[in-house]
Amino acid sequence: MKAVVVDQAYNLTALAQRLLKEGRKLDLANKILGAVDARSIAVDLTIALEACDALAFSLDNAMQQPANFRETTEAALLSYLVILYARATKSSSDIRKQYDPRPKFNADEKQVHTELCDLRDQAIAHFGRGGSYTGDWTVELAILDIDHTVRAAVVTRRLVVDRALLYRAKAQIARALEIINPLCTSRINLFIDAINAECVADPAFHKEVSQHPLNIAIFLARIIHRTVCLGVASVA
pLDDT of residue 7: 67
Whether 190 contacts 35, CB under 8 Å: yes
pTM (2 d.p.): 0.85
For residue 150, tell me if it sits in a domain.
no
CA-based nearest residue to 81, from 114, 130, 46, 109: 46
Residue 229 lies in a domain: no
Q: Quick one: pLDDT band at residue 129, thresholds 50, 70, 90?
A: confident
What is the span of the domain harbouring residue 118?
9-132+162-219
Residue 137 covered by a domain: no
47: in domain: yes
What is the pLDDT at residue 149? 84
Highest mean pLDDT among 169-173, 188-192, 201-205: 169-173
Domain contains 179: yes
Strand partners, 10: 213
pLDDT reported for residue 25: 94
Provide DSSP, 157-193.
EE----HHHHHHHHHHHHHHHHHHHHHHHHHHHHHHH
Asked if residue 136 has pLDDT above 60, the reply is yes
For strand 213-214 and strand 9-10, is the pairing parallel, antiparallel, or unpaired?
antiparallel
Q: What is the mean pLDDT of residues 153-174?
A: 91
User: Residue 184: is its pLDDT beyond 80?
Assistant: yes
Is residue 116 within 8 Å of 172, Cβ to Cβ? Answer: yes
137 pLDDT exceeds 60? yes
Is residue 115 assigned to a domain? yes
Question: What pLDDT, on a 0 to 100 scale, did the predictor assign at position 232?
Answer: 52
Q: Which residue has the higher pLDDT, 138 or 90?
A: 90
* Distance of alpha carbon 11 from alpha carbon 136, whole angstroms: 47
- According to the model, what pLDDT value does residue 119 have? 93
Name the amino acid, one letter, at 93: S
Neighbours of 130 (CB within 10 A): 19
The average confidence (pLDDT) of the chain is 88
Q: Which residues contact 151 (CB under 8 A, 6 or more apart)?
A: 144, 145
Backbone angles phi and psi of 194, in degrees to 5: -65, -40
Percent of the chain with pLDDT over 70: 90
Which are the contacts of 34, defined by CB distance < 8 A and separation ≥ 6?
97, 187, 190, 191
What is the per-residue pLDDT for 1?
Answer: 43
Structurally, the chain folds into a number of domains equal to: 1
Q: What is the mean pLDDT of residues 38-55?
A: 95
Alpha carbons 151 and 93: distance in angstroms, whole number: 49
Q: Is residue 139 part of a domain?
A: no
Q: What is the mean pLDDT of residues 151-168?
A: 88
Asked, for residue 228, whether it belongs to a domain, the answer is no
Question: pLDDT value at position 115?
Answer: 95
